[in-house]
Amino acid sequence: MTQYIIRRLLLSIPTLLGIVFIVFVIARLLPGDPCLSALGERATEAICAAFNERFGLNEPLHVQFFLYLGQLARGDLGDSIRYGRPVTEILIERLPTTLELATYALIFASISGVLLGLISALRRNSRTDVTTMFVAILGVSIPIFVLALILQFVFAVALPEVTGNLFGTRIGLPPSGRLSPGLPYETIPQAFGLEDVGGLPRAILDFLSGILTFNFLITFQWRQLADAVQHLILPVIALGTISLAIVARITRSSLLEVLGLDYIRTARAKGVSDRDVLRKHAFRNAMLPVVTIIGLQLGLLLAGAVLTETVFNLTGVGRTMYDSIVGRDYIVVQAFTLIIALIYLTVNLVVDISYAFLDPRIRLK
């Protein structure tokens, strides 16, 4: 197992280098001038010359690439052209929002998708099965931004209006943002008196504080936690619905295939109850392709975060990536792509390792 993990980690290095190279080249092939995008009317010829020299944009493309690799080797992600700040600081601010959103969307899609697929497989060709698969197909067909707008209208506009007219109390969900405006809260350093901590520990604490639900949970800020959860419900549903539908369909087809195998019929012939057949024999074997799909869904969720964060006005990696592409901020685009690739490769490594636990016949060497 250890050798397998080390081998996979070593194989990830050329993959990351390839991603960095492709993004580096594509970013610089986009039309537009970073200086003009960043400075606008102030971008005179002399100012742009100094601007390009500061960010190394006056060097040949291959020289820029090797300089960038040297920065990465030192752990330096560079300075943002658009914001004029180290990219690491921007990551600490923006990445927690995207990770929080994508994590809850993945949990929502995985649990709901497996349950729906399980129910559909056990009631094959019934009304429940047909209805579940229809919902799954509908979920795959609706674009994220369309579903997000529908959810906003129904639960943030129409529902409060209806409940206000009927009951005198407006009941609904927040249409955007991460917290209600003006709601005070404490970060982890503030709550535990760690404001004087600096360096890497402080960066880690600030990063964890940016994951608001985690921050409020461990600092016992229950009112803020409830408010943060309410703000997450609509974006999580909008982002996770497509993945939910895919997981449900894969779970159904995989479970039906396993239930038709000889060893399942043998177990039933020996008098094993349907519950034990499902729990002890069928479910774990059926989960292998489902786990693979769930791991792959992370890439879909991170990509969908761009639209979700834009519609729900969340300042995360997706929204920042969009603004950086429009503003020709190559440094931020490269750094954020590298981080997303690292997350994706890590999750897929975890998925591969989980195979050995789901099916003992699989040995990772």
Tens-digit pLDDT profile for the chain (365 aa)?
A: 677 677 777 877 888 888 888 888 887 777 777 777 666 666 677 777 877 777 777 778 788 888 888 888 887 888 887 777 888 888 888 889 988 999 999 999 999 999 998 888 888 888 888 888 888 888 888 888 889 999 999 998 888 888 887 777 788 889 888 999 889 999 999 999 888 888 888 889 999 999 999 999 999 999 999 999 999 999 999 999 988 999 998 988 888 888 887 878 888 787 777 777 777 777 777 888 888 888 878 777 877 777 888 889 888 887 888 888 877 787 888 888 888 888 888 887 777 777 766 666 665 55
pLDDT at 364: 57
Tell me the C-alpha distance between 281 and 319, whole Å.
45
Please state, in angstroms and rounded to a whole number, the distance separating the CA atoms of residues 52 and 72: 20
Provide the token pair at 276.
């034990």
Alpha-carbon distance of 174 to 228, in angstroms, equals 10
Nearest to 287 by CA among 313, 253, 311: 253
88: amino acid identity, one letter: T
Helix 283-311 vs helix 87-122: angle between axes, to the nearest 10 degrees? 130
Question: Are the C-beta atoms of residues 197 and 189 closer than 8 Å to each other?
Answer: yes
Question: Is residue 311 a contact partner of residue 119, using CB atoms and an 8 Å limit?
Answer: no
220 Rama sector, left if φ>0, alpha if ψ -120 to 50, beta otherwise = left
Closest C-alpha to 69, from 56, 81, 58: 56
Residue 21: name the closest of 83, 72, 65 by CA: 65
Q: Are 121 and 234 in contact (CB under 8 A)?
A: no
CA 224, chain centre distance (Å): 23
Q: Is 42 exposed, middle or buried (0-12, 13-18, 19+ CB in 10 A)?
A: exposed
CA angle 111, 113, 114 (to 5 degrees): 70
pLDDT digits (tens, 9 = 90+) for 254-286: 888 888 878 788 887 877 777 777 777 777 778
Write down the pTM of the prediction.
0.84
Q: Residue 314 in contact with residue 235, Cβ under 8 Å?
A: yes
